[in-house]
Structure 1
Amino acid sequence: MGSDPQYAKYPNLSLAQDIFNLSNPACSQTAQQASLKKLQSAISDHHMAPLYRHLAHPVEGILNSQGEGTPQHTASAGTKVLVNSNLLSGRKVPHKIDLAWDEKLYDSLVEENKKELDTLQKEEDDAAEAAGDTEVQAARGKRAEFWARVGDKDKAVAAYEAVFEKTGILGTKIDLVLAIIRIGLFFGDKQFVKKNVERANALVESGGDWDRRNRLKAYKGLHLLTIRSYNLAAPLLLDSLSTFTSYELCTYSNLVVYSVLAGSLALKRVDFKAKVVDAPEIRAILGEGEDRLSALTGAVSSGPGAGDEEMKDATSVTPGTASTVVNLTTLGTETDSEAPMDFSPLSNLVSSLYNGIYRSFFVALAAVEDNFLSQDRYLYEHRAWFVREMRLRGYQQLLQSYRVVGLSSMANDFGVTVDFLDRDLAKFIAGDRIACTIDRVNGIIETNRPDDKNKQYADVVKQGDALITKLQKYGQAVRLRGSERG
């Protein structure tokens, strides 16, 4: 049996989304104002002097007009930067942010930080004199959480590492590394997150309990999503749906969005049917009427034994209707303040892709880009790539069923012009992503189905040529070194 998770309260990752919203040109003015108020309240209530300086300082702040696109604040001489900062939607802030710099406010926040640090130091000293190592470690853990709360990334990581070095309990070590991962996620440092995800995975494999294994699965899935490894992220995120407990990482509604997007792009049609279309956790949110009720009551199941019921036609789903706006607090999750989310674009995407309603599929894909990809800090960077890959998936799904397809007929199915389809397919054909040729004179698309053995032979030849080239370069390098020794 494992102990309850520790160090899971800070940093608050939803605050990083609010900071992202301020610099996101696709975010509405209303949402930006709401995010600004939340950020100002958090800075004031939690005395976040380091984060306030990092964001709003006239010289070093990443949100100010003079320092636009500054990736991180300047470290003092001799100070090693542990975590890079990438909180904004791009290297240039597209408009002026109203997070003004107030020297008096900053000074008061710094003063509050000093008082709290003095209190923590006194607690640690008292524990060292009158108590044992456990109490001393608890005081040091509070100091680490303090730095994570106020937004000083490097001091927080250093403090967590100091606690880690003095800790012998495996569960606590895993919790500390997960807290360090969240600091990396907060500030958008992918390399730092990757290193610590691998570190946490090694600790879990050495004997971590079930709960921490399950929590790490969500962390790994989200990290893989941020580095565009959807094929690896999809199974992890989808598996996390039924046993999700990592509410410090993201809300359940966000996990549903990430899981459906990753599964829609990465899974083969059979797996897409079992793990996304028929998954009870997803049908409970994306389904309608009886589908949702049966999913919530456990009447449906996913997997190889699931039935092959057809999904409802996407054209019958009207975006914005109350039936697809889900308040996840009613589904038994532990999210007290999670706002209702309109999942209708996502539902339309899944339904139209699976049922082959390609005109609706393109409309739903555009709605998903506007409502999800362009609004989420983890998805924003890869939104154009995701849309392109989903278009490719739609093209592949249609073409694999036919030997010859009329160009105008296919364009009509997708609701695009012949010229657009010609240009779009040409890019994928040139990159060997679709095995077909376009005969524009006759107005047809002819699918090429290469023999598997011929493809394997071509792959062997290609890889063999690359290996021979590397061996030749290696041989030349060895001969040169030998002549130098002579």
Structure 2
Amino acid sequence: METAEKSESDQAIFYDALCHGFDRTETADTDDKIKIPNLEIAQVKFHLTLPEFAGDDEKMTRLMASVKADNMAPYYEMVCDELRITTDKSLLKSMQEANRKSIEYLDSEIDYALKNLGTADVKETYLNKANYLSKIGNKTEAIAALDLAYRNTIALGYKLENIFHCIRLGLFFHDLELMKQNLSRCEELIQEGADWHYRNCFKIYKGEQAPVDLKVKTRKDEIRRMVVKKCRNDVSCSTVTFGTNPVQIWAG
């Protein structure tokens, strides 16, 4: 398992402690969705921005393997720009074509649902598109699809899941403003009567806000204590992995 302990960067500690994410123990389908976007990819990419990992062939190989496996054309362009590496135009073109075909299919599913199905099915088609766009690293369009899904969502729990997805996008792209906006939205919805599961998942996501913000100098052990303290009296909801030491988070 990757760790960032070779680096003294607070950001590196944040990624090492938290990017391995929230493996909820409900269903395989839920587990797959909760891993979108894949925060481990963001961790590897971040390591490559650090001087001590510059030119690390093993990490670059891992990053590119993930990019190619999921045809992450938008993310690949961002990676090439941020890491100042030469863009493989042939690879980019093939991934963009794969993205185009997939999005075309997802849009056809949305059109069919809008014309023939109910609100719940429309919501699902928008979520399918949002999941795909998140998976390939298209933040702007993923958020737009999530917004459309939200407009077709009635149940409070599904609304919160939608917002949690936005927060994960904020984590993936290190977009502090996106995280803050959606944590605020989430807090308002929680007050409408969310159950223990969503209340405590919110606490966990809230616990990630401090270490991702460089204005807050929080070390790894402090992150662990903060999250465990918030959830210590609850029923098991999520597992957060701190480096090689998994910490069971209790929620309920």
**TM interval, short-chain normalised:** 0.7 to 0.9
Alignment of 1:107-126 (within 5 A): 107-126=93-112
Match of 2:22 in 1: none
Q: State the 1:230 CA deviation.
A: 5.0
Match of 2:83 in 1: 63
1:252 aligned partner, one-letter code: T
Match of 2:21 in 1: none
Where does structure 1 lack aligned partners over 5 or more consecutive residues?
A: 65-98, 255-325, 334-486
CA distance in 1, matches of 2:212, 2:248: 28
Match of 2:43 in 1: 17
Pair 1:246–1:203, CA change in 2 (3 A): same
Kept in 1: contact 2:120–2:152 (CA 8 A):
no
Kept in 2: contact 1:51–1:151 (CA 8 A):
yes
CA distance in 2, matches of 1:173, 1:217: 16
Q: State the 1:246 CA deviation.
A: 4.0
1:205 to 179, 191, 194: 191
RMSD: 2.9
1:224 aligned partner, one-letter code: A
CA distance in 2, matches of 1:176, 1:47: 24
1:37 aligned partner, one-letter code: T
Match of 1:53 in 2: 77
Q: Which has the higher helix share?
A: 2
Secondary structure of 1:145's counterpart equals: helix
CA distance in 2, matches of 1:47, 1:174: 28
Kept in 1: contact 2:120–2:153 (CA 8 A):
no
2:151 aligned partner, one-letter code: E
Q: State the 1:332 CA deviation.
A: 8.4
Alignment of 1:218-233 (within 5 A): 218-227=204-213, 228=216
Kept in 2: contact 1:147–1:155 (CA 8 A):
yes
2:250 counterpart of 1:239: no
CA distance in 2, matches of 1:43, 1:181: 21
Kept in 1: contact 2:42–2:173 (CA 8 A):
yes
What is the count of residue pairs matched by the alignment? 215
Alignment of 1:179-328 (within 5 A): 179-227=165-213, 228=216, 234-240=225-231, 245-247=237-239, 251-254=240-243, 328=246
Kept in 2: contact 1:164–1:176 (CA 8 A):
yes
CA distance in 2, matches of 1:140, 1:156: 9
The superposition leaves residues 321-371 of structure 1 with CA deviations (integer Å, 9 ceiling, x where unpaired) of xxxxx675xx989xxxxxxxxxxxxxxxxxxxxxxxxxxxxxxxxxxxxxx
2:137 counterpart of 1:151: yes
Kept in 2: contact 1:222–1:237 (CA 8 A):
no
Match of 1:166 in 2: 152
Kept in 2: contact 1:217–1:237 (CA 8 A):
no
Secondary structure of 1:62's counterpart equals: helix
TM-score by length of 2: 0.75
Kept in 2: contact 1:214–1:244 (CA 8 A):
no
Kept in 1: contact 2:174–2:212 (CA 8 A):
no
Q: State the 1:243 CA deviation.
A: 5.3
1:104 aligned partner, one-letter code: S
Kept in 1: contact 2:170–2:179 (CA 8 A):
yes
Secondary structure of 2:122's counterpart equals: helix
1:104 to 87, 90, 108: 90
Structure exhibiting the larger radius of gyration computed from Cα positions: 1
1:157 aligned partner, one-letter code: I
Q: State the 1:140 CA deviation.
A: 0.9
1:26 to 52, 68, 87: 52
CA distance in 1, matches of 2:130, 2:205: 20
1:253 aligned partner, one-letter code: F
2:127 counterpart of 1:141: yes
Percent identity over paired residues: 27
The superposition leaves residues 132-180 of structure 1 with CA deviations (integer Å, 9 ceiling, x where unpaired) of 2222211111011111111011111111111112211110110111110
Secondary structure of 1:252's counterpart equals: strand
CA distance in 1, matches of 2:196, 2:118: 30
2:241 aligned partner, one-letter code: Y
Pair 1:244–1:24, CA change in 2 (3 A): farther
CA distance in 2, matches of 1:237, 1:101: 43
Q: State the 1:191 CA deviation.
A: 2.3
Q: State the 1:245 CA deviation.
A: 3.8
Match of 2:65 in 1: 41
Q: State the 1:237 CA deviation.
A: 4.1
CA distance in 1, matches of 2:58, 2:186: 35
Q: State the 1:236 CA deviation.
A: 3.7
Where does structure 2 lack aligned partners over 5 or more consecutive residues?
A: 1-25
1:15 aligned partner, one-letter code: I
CA distance in 2, matches of 1:17, 1:27: 12
TM-score by length of 1: 0.40
CA distance in 2, matches of 1:194, 1:244: 26
Q: State the 1:229 CA deviation.
A: 6.9
Greater RCO, CA 8 A, separation 6+? 2
Pair 1:119–1:9, CA change in 2 (3 A): same
Match of 1:473 in 2: none
Kept in 1: contact 2:123–2:150 (CA 8 A):
no
